Chain A
Amino acid sequence: MRGKRLFIAAFLIPPLLLYGIFVVSPYAQAFQISATNWGGLSPEYEFVGLDNFRRLLGDGTFWNALRHNALLLALLPVVTILLGLFLASMISVGGRRDRVGVHGVRGAAVYRIVYFFPQVLSVAIVGVLWKEMYAPNSGLINGALRAMGLDALARPWLGDPRFAFWCLALVLLWSNVGFYVVLFSAAMQSVPRDIYEAALLDGATRASTLFRITVPLLWDTIQVAWVYLAILAIDGFAVAQIITNGGPGYSSDVVGLRLYNTAFTDSQFGYASAIGVAMFFLTLSVAAVFLRVTRRDRVEM
């Protein structure tokens, strides 16, 4: 017995130690720093108690950034999952009815690779790529619009506060949907084909197959996807920083970027940590709420 315990401990202690040092202790320290006015350039600071959090409540730029994250949180998971489910079911079971039985559309393998492609690119490359796509005169988007004779729709996308944020949201959608297509189609492989064939024989349409069969059977996977996407929506930092840096003005700001700029350009690390602590609780509660709301009885197969 003792030998076994020792064996287990030998495997557990190093990762726990690393986790403690590199994950838990910075978190703990962020709480400590958030109660100070530390400026980040000297070891001097004063404890200010909850002043930073009080300031947070009245900080318009923080609420503006939070509003953008809330919009992302409301839309990004839903749209990404719906689009991912649609594409995945087209790839896996959306093909024409014929003697072969249930299968994907023609060229499904190619689509699977194409959709997954953005996932292979690093977020920095995605950002730079889209920055050029949105460029007003040389960019692909305005170029395509003009080529189709839709000159009136061409816009200085990232330069216009009305569109800048939505341009970022689109990039997030584009760069993430591919992963969920692959995730969902992998999950669909494990759904027995006969269920789909039975549905087909009963004359179910593609839409009702999707919502009556695929979604309930994939519920666990969707739930996980939902939590991941929600966390992603609360973040959004990298894409925003690379493409617009929050601009014009604060029109495409997100909380992560606000935190970063407060720390590194305004040199107010205490206040930035307070933003981080607020974000920590936000992410935690969103994940908890999502898991609760999406809890459902599992379908036994």
Chain B
Amino acid sequence: MAQTISRRGLLHGAAAVGALAGTSVLTGCAMGGDSDKDAAKGETSAANPLGVKQDAPLEVVIFNGGLGEEYAKAHEAMYRERFPQAQIKHSATQQIAETLQPRFVAGDPPDVLNNSGGSQIDFNGLVSQGALADLGDLLAAPSLDDPKVTVKDTLRAGIIEAGSYDGKFLSLNYAYSTYGIWYSEKLFAERGWQYPKTWDEMIALCRRIKAAGISPWTYQGKHSRYMSWPILSAAAKLGGVDVLKAIDNLEPGAWRHEAVRAAVDAYYQLAVDGFLQPGAAGMDHIQSQTEWSRGKAAFISCGSWLENEQKAVTPPGFRMAVGPTPSLTRGDKLPFEAFRGAGSEPFVVPAKAGNVRGGLEYLRVMLSRKGASDFTRMTNSLTCVAGSSAGLELSPGLASVTKLIDAAGSNTFTWLFNSYYRKLERTLVDAACADLFSKRINSAQWVERCQQAADGIAKDPSIKKYKRA
């Protein structure tokens, strides 16, 4: 039996419990009450397909991380142009959960929220508590640039799947990140090294790199989950995307799949053969990536935000580039060019927002050609709008990312367990990877650790389960 607390009910309860006069007024604060705001809605028309009320104020909260907040100001300016009477309130923070959790409870959340970063609000909680508005209307609406094309048709493959929970599209992953293995083209050209296409070539190259006095690999030791990305990517390429779907669906024995075993065996060899930078186990992402930027190590696993994150310490002429994970065998189900591409920077419209329509419209503005290219220009990151980087002058890393995308065609994949069950990746797989690459456990034990972690999540009744189709 689900109960809804009304403010009055709470006061009654609190007055009965509270022995201290005066406290009852405030006792209700933490658990909040229902908002009695009416969702602002205006007339729909061709120019205003989502029915935004002209003068309804709009509040936007941005995660102020690697991508900054400037891009949002550009989007807000575009929105203001369309709705000059609307007041726009902009704020940016890194403490998303801490600042916004009380507002969700109070029924007074912002209209648009970029729920990102280390303290993002757990999606499992947001979705299972019905705190997010369905973005289906946005998908069906005509795009800002061409009324004949719906917003849905402007998105890259996989964006809708990654933002959907039980068939409802709730989160728009606005940035598009490609994951792979990063290196400096300058370093490789100087030394005559070639990015390896197979794992055997990778090991052979690591030997040469080590002989040249450079660490072949470094990694974000305190966030070792970064190294689970090439492992799972290699496994998906070897065994097909079904390997990942089984993991996402917490199927029994999913991590024990042959392809996962082969992939983790391969990457474990980096630790066994001493190809990892000494000390990397104790570095966080900034420290290890800086070592890599300084040329102390040749390879690092990361996503395409790396270029922006390293902007301040990248030496001129470094020419950072990304390659897909090398194929493990000749019989891999996916070609070498296949890579993990996934949305990041999840934008949501809270269900209890005062201006849900305006929130949807704001996302529609973001997804326009101009909105997307502004974002790419300001952040060196691609968006989920297909082909939105065309005609822009690209930085070296971003140029390499677009090459990667073009070469792969439709051969992209990703996994979703990290957003379904945040703890599984952020804590459990992370710890298993930390132990693996410090050689405290071997690859077979890693598989068992991850399997047990997944089984633990599957058994936990307090965590809502999602199914990936």
Contacts and interface: CB of A to CB of B under 8 A. Distances in A.
A161 B23 contact: no
Given A46-B2, A158-B282, A271-B462, A41 B105 contact: yes
A138 B287 contact: yes
B438 interface: yes
Contacts of B26: 21, 25
Given A41-B101, A137-B283, A249-B431, A24 B221 contact: no
B283 to A, nearest CB: 6
B125 A39 contact: yes
Contacts of B431: 161, 247-251
Interface stretch (B31-39, B226-234, B255-263): B31-39
Nearest to B437: A159
A247 B432 CA distance: 11
Interface in B420-463: 422-423, 426-428, 430-432, 434-435, 438, 440, 462
Interface stretch (A75-83, A185-193, A260-268): A260-268
A250 B427 contact: yes
Interface residues of A, number: 48
A203 interface: no
Interface residues of B, number: 57
B22 A17 contact: yes
B224 A264 contact: no
Interface stretch (A30-38, A210-218, A229-237): A30-38
Contacts of A137: 279, 283, 287, 291
A156 B104 contact: no
Contacts of B130: 42
Nearest to A136: B279
Contacts of B33: 43
B283 A156 contact: yes
Nearest to B434: A248
Contact of B282 (A42, A55, A159, A268): A159
Interface stretch (B116-124, B193-201, B329-337, B356-364): B116-124
A41 B427 contact: no
A115 interface: no
B280 interface: yes
Contact of A20 (B5, B22, B98): B22
B390 interface: no
Nearest to A16: B20
B434 A46 contact: no
B424 to A, nearest CB: 11
Interface in B111-159: 119, 121-122, 124-126, 128-131
A28 B122 contact: no
Question: What is the interface of chain A mostly: helix, strand, loop, or mixed?
Answer: loop
Nearest to B350: A41
Contact of B124 (A135, A160, A267): A267
B221 A43 contact: no
A44 interface: yes
Given A159-B282, A264-B119, A265-B97, A28 B438 contact: no
Given A44-B4, A267-B125, A25 B221 contact: no
Nearest to A273: B30
Contacts of A49: none
A159 B434 contact: yes
Contacts of A250: 427, 431
A47 B1 CA distance: 9
B17 interface: yes
B31 A43 contact: yes
Contacts of A156: 221, 279-283, 438
A280 interface: no
Given A38-B31, A156-B221, A159-B221, A135 B427 contact: no
B142 to A, nearest CB: 32
A63 to B, nearest CB: 15
Contacts of A135: 282-283, 287
Contacts of B104: 40-42
Contacts of A45: 2-3, 5, 31
16 contacts: A24-B20, A25-B27, A28-B23, A28-B27, A39-B129, A40-B125, A42-B129, A42-B130, A44-B4, A47-B3, A142-B279, A160-B438, A161-B434, A265-B426, A268-B125, A268-B462
Interface of B: 1-5, 17-18, 20, 22-23, 26-27, 30-34, 97-98, 101, 104-105, 107, 119, 121-122, 124-126, 128-131, 221-222, 224, 278-283, 287, 291, 422-423, 426-428, 430-432, 434-435, 438, 440, 462
